[in-house]
């Protein structure tokens, strides 16, 4: 029994010594998470939220006063250019058109009678000229006979009077013909006036029928059949029948934070997601970058705001979808992720590995440690990472290396100078990285992080 106790005691002492040696060996080590530098494609993404809007939309207003007799569409319907979408009562305009057409018909009849009168006048002129020719011959013969003393003075005077009468008859017939032509021309002028009036009345009649100005979708229908609509005059707004949107060109109008807008440019590609269509991404590109800052709380431009309160601001950005689709509707909430920069196969490291570190301050003449200050740039914090390196004894130590960085991705950042591919850097934990010192002994933390149980906070 005594022997067994001695063996047990020896085992306990040995285990204690082993534990003590392990503890001593691990004391002074800092557990860290690490990652190696690799080359990968990096993209800088700027996000903005907003809503889907058509590039072209129009409010179809009333063009005629009256009661709506028919609405041929409902909200959400697709319409084609020229399709009848609504009608307003047209009794009076239609009656005006019919009356004007009757007036034009009567005017054409009058013109026909005047043309007939022209023909009669032309015949009268020809008849008068023929009589004049005959009387002229008789007058010429009478002159010869009278001079020869064969014709009596009475007969000679009769022939001359007959000739003079036919000269006047020709002039009268020509005047009658000219009068008939003038009446015809006047009637034609009146006819043109009547035709112009008919066009006016037909235009008024056509305005009682509203047609779609382009292919689109009805996005708003604020009126109902039986309601009376009015035409806008001067500063008085008229009735709006409906709003049509041309969905062949769709845009996402989003707001981008003022800190990101400097990187957004026209032509940059973007991925558009819509809350109502989860799992689908629409491709587009930036077509407009606003130059007016908008107050986030009200959406009013800062140039129009009368308050001097400082608050967060956004800028409007319009992203046009590359292809049209029937799935989208105006007003749907959307998010646009704009790629403002992209580089292929660049050296990168996890963003969380970056830290600000000030090198240890040297003792001054008085033997006091000099703290970081503006008067001593050497001890100012610098941006960099802690690289994992082996010392002369093969132990892992942290070495601070200043780095310069480039574009930033979702989780990684481009390394421009200071590091090479394959180097291992400390990435966390965050609390450890904040207090890590240059030259500290390191131990990789291989334990998996604890996943919180369901329902825990």
With cut-offs at 50, 70 and 90, classify the pLDDT of residue 297: confident
Nearest to 181 by CA among 127, 125, 122, 129: 122
> How far is the C-alpha of 325 from the C-alpha of 174, rounded, in Å?
76
Mean pLDDT over residues 102-125, rounded? 88
What is the rounded average pLDDT of the residues 285-303? Answer: 86
The pLDDT value recorded for residue 14 is 62
Min mean pLDDT across 22-26, 141-145, 224-228, 354-358 is at 22-26
CA distance 213 to 310: 45
Is the residue at 222 inside a domain?
A: yes
Judge residue 415's burial from the number of C-beta atoms within 10 Å of its C-beta, 0-12 exposed, 13-18 middle, 19 or more buried: buried
- The domain boundary, picked from 193, 216, 240, lies at 240
Domain identity same for 253 and 381: no
pLDDT-derived band of residue 132, with 50, 70 and 90 as boundaries? confident
Do residues 365 and 236 share a domain? no
In the predicted structure, residue 320 carries a pLDDT above the cut 90: yes
Average pLDDT, stretch 393-416? Answer: 91
What's residue 219's pLDDT?
A: 87
Domain that holds residue 153: 91-206
- Is the pLDDT score of 378 beyond 70? no
* Lowest mean pLDDT across 17-26, 27-36, 250-259: 17-26
Last residue of a domain, one of 341, 360, 378: 341
Q: What CATH number should be reported for the domain holding residue 423? A: 2.40.420.20
- For residues 378 and 429, membership in a common domain is answered with yes
Asked whether residue 261 falls in the same domain as residue 222, the answer is no
| pLDDT attached to residue 25 | 41
**Does a structural domain hold residue 436?**
yes
The Cα-based distances of 238 to 60, 70, 212, 233, 241 in angstroms read 10, 19, 18, 7, 10
Read off the tokens for 83.
């399709």
The 10s digit of each residue's pLDDT in 29-39 is 888 999 999 99
Residues 433 and 393 in one domain: yes
- Provide the pLDDT for residue 247: 83
pLDDT, position 333: 95
Same domain, 187 and 223: no
| 282 and 364 assigned to the same domain | no
More confident residue, 171 or 72: 72
Is position 148 within any domain? yes
Could you tell me if residue 105 is inside a domain? Answer: yes
Residues 57-113 pLDDT 10s: 899 999 889 999 999 999 989 899 999 999 999 999 999 999 999 999 998 998 898
Confidence (pLDDT) at 300: 81
Please tell me whether residues 95 and 202 are part of one structural domain: yes
Residue whose structure tokens are 């990285």 = 433
Q: What is the pLDDT of residue 275?
A: 93
Same structural domain for residues 97 and 201? yes
Comparison of pLDDT for 150 and 58, the residue scoring more: 58
Q: Is residue 423's pLDDT more than 60? A: yes
CA-CA-CA-CA dihedral for 361, 366, 368, 370, to nearest 10? -30
Of 146-150, 190-194, 328-332, the least confident: 146-150
Q: What's the whole-number mean pLDDT along residues 126-140?
A: 84
* Domain end point (choices 185, 220, 240): 240
pTM: 0.61
Distances (CA, A) of 410 to 41, 44, 414, 443: 11, 7, 11, 28
Average pLDDT, the chain: 84
Task: Say if 137 falls within a structural domain.
Answer: yes
Same domain, 281 and 377: no
pLDDT score at 451: 42
Least confident of 23-27, 125-129, 171-175, 226-230: 23-27
User: What average pLDDT does range 272-301 have in this prediction?
Assistant: 90
Angle, helices 91-148 vs 153-206, to 10°: value is 170
Separation between Cα atoms, residue 194 and residue 199, nearest integer Å: 9
Where is average pLDDT lowest: 30-34, 230-234, 254-258? 230-234
Q: Looking at the domain assignment, is residue 125 inside a domain?
A: yes
Please indicate, yes or no, if residue 223 is contained in any of the structural domains.
Answer: yes
Peptide bond into 36 cis (omega under 30): no
- Tell me the CATH number at 80: 2.40.50.100
Asked, for residue 380, whether it belongs to a domain, the answer is yes
Please tell me whether residues 96 and 192 are part of one structural domain.
Answer: yes
Residue of 308 and 457 predicted with greater confidence: 308
Start-to-end CA span in the chain (Å): 55
pLDDT of residue 450: 44
On the 0-12 / 13-18 / 19+ scale of CB atoms within 10 A, 208 is buried
Give the Cα separation of 204 and 99 in Å (integer). 14
CATH number, domain with residue 293 = 2.40.30.170
Tokens in use for 346? 């660049």
Number of folded domains that form the chain: 4
Q: What is the DSSP letter of 3?
A: H
CATH number of the domain within which 189 lies? 1.10.287.620
- Provide, rounded to the nearest whole percent, the portion of the chain with pLDDT above 70: 86
Whether 320 and 283 share a structural domain: yes
pLDDT (0 to 100) of residue 5: 65
């Amino acid at each position: 029994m005594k022997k067994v106790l001695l063996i047990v005691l020896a085992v306990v002492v040995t285990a204690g010594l082993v534990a003590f040696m392990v503890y001593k060996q691990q004391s002074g080590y800092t557990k860290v998470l690490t990652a190696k530098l690799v080359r990968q494609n990096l993209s800088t993404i700027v996000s903005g939220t907003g809503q889907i809007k058509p590039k072209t939309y129009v409010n179809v207003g009333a063009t005629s006063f009256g009661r709506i007799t028919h609405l041929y569409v409902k909200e959400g319907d697709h319409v084609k250019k020229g399709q009848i979408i609504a009608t307003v009562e047209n009794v009076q305009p239609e009656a005006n058109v019919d009356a004007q057409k009757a007036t034009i018909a009567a005017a054409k009849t009058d013109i026909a009678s005047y043309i007939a009168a022209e023909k009669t006048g032309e015949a009268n002129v020809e008849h008068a000229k023929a009589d004049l020719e005959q009387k002229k011959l008789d007058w010429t013969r009478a002159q010869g006979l009278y001079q020869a003393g064969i014709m009596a003075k009475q007969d000679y005077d009769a022939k001359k009077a007959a000739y003079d009468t036919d000269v006047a008859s020709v002039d009268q017939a020509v005047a009658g013909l000219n009068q008939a032509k003038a009446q015809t021309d006047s009637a034609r002028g009146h006819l043109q006036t009547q035709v112009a009036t008919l066009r006016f009345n037909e235009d008024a009649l056509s305005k009682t029928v509203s047609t779609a100005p382009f292919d689109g979708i009805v996005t708003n229908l604020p009126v109902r059949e039986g309601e009376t609509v009015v035409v806008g005059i001067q500063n008085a707004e008229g009735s709006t029948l409906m709003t049509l949107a041309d969905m062949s060109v769709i845009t996402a109008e989003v707001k981008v934070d003022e800190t990101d807008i400097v990187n957004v440019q026209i032509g940059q590609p973007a991925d558009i997601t819509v809350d109502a269509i989860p799992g689908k991404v629409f491709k587009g590109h930036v077509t407009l970058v606003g130059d007016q800052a908008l107050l986030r709380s009200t959406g009013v431009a800062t140039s129009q705001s009368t308050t001097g309160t400082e608050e967060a601001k956004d800028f409007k950005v319009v992203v046009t979808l590359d292809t049209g689709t029937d799935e989208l509707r105006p007003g749907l909430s959307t998010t646009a992720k704009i790629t403002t920069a992209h580089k292929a196969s660049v050296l990168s490291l996890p963003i969380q590995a970056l830290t600000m570190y000030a090198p240890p301050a040297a003792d001054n003449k008085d033997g006091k440690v000099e703290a970081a200050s503006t008067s001593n740039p050497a001890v100012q914090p610098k941006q960099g990472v802690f690289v994992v390196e082996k010392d002369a004894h093969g132990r892992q130590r942290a070495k601070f290396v200043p780095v310069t960085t480039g574009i930033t991705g979702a989780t990684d950042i481009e390394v421009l100078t200071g590091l090479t591919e394959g180097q291992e850097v400390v990435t966390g934990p965050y609390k450890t990285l904040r207090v890590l010192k240059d030259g500290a002994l390191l131990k990789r933390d291989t334990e998996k992080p604890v996943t919180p149980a369901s329902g825990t906070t």
